[in-house]
Amino acid sequence: MAVRKILTYPDEVLRKPAEPVADIDGRLQQLINDMADTMYHAPGIGLAGNQVGAPCRVIIFDVSAKDEPRDLCVVINPEIIESGGEVASEEGCLSVVDYSAEIKRAQFVTVKGFDREGNPVLLKKEGLPAIVLQHEIDHLNGKLFIDHISRLKRELYKRRLRKKLKEKRPRRL
C-alpha cells in the first residue's frame, strides 16, 4: 500500500470524466488500497480515482467520527439513481487547496454501483454521507465543488491561486 499524490486544481485530469471500470482485478484492488492510505493520510473523508491520477470510476469514503473505528466504503461505477431535498453545507476538497464554500446539494441520494468484490450495492444515504457521495461522483464526472459556487467567487479563488502559484515559482536569472 502507498500514499499517492493528490492532484490539485487546475490539473486537467480533474476535469476529464473518468472511464467505467470493466474488470475488478488485482490492479484495481491495489488502487483502492492506495486510495484509502492516501485519503486517511491527507486526512480526508472521500476520494475519487481521478484525484490520484487514475481516471476510473472508483470512489471511497469514510464519514466515521475520529473516535470510532474506520468504516471504509468503496463504490465502483457509482451512479445516482434518486435524489431529493436540499441542504447547504460547507465543503472543502483535497484537490482544491485552501478553499471552502457553502454548497447546495440534495439532502438524500440513492446510489447504485459495485463493491470491491464486484457485488452490486445500493446505498441510500442522507446528510453528510449523501453530500460526500455527490461530491465524489462529481469528481468522476469532471466537476469540482467550485463549479457549484458563483462565477465571481470562483474567479476570486482562481486569481488567488494563480498568485500563490506564481509566488512559488523560482526566479529565473
Task: Please count the CA atoms within 13 angstroms of the CA of 76 that sit on its side-chain side.
Answer: 18
Kindly give, in sequence order, each residue whose CB lies less than 8 Å from that of residue 114, ignoring residues fewer than 6 positions away. 21, 24, 75, 76, 77, 120, 121
CA gyration radius, the chain = 17
Task: Kindly state the DSSP code that residue 4 receives in the 8-state scheme.
Answer: P
Rounded CA-CA distance 145/100 in Å is: 9
Determine whether 82 is an active site residue.
no
Residues 6 or more apart from 151 whose CB is under 8 A from it? none
Rounded Cα distance, 35 and 52, in Å: 7
- Residues paired with residue 123 on neighbouring β-strands, in sequence order: 111
Task: Catalytic residue, from 68, 90, 102, 136: name it.
Answer: 136
Active site residues: 136
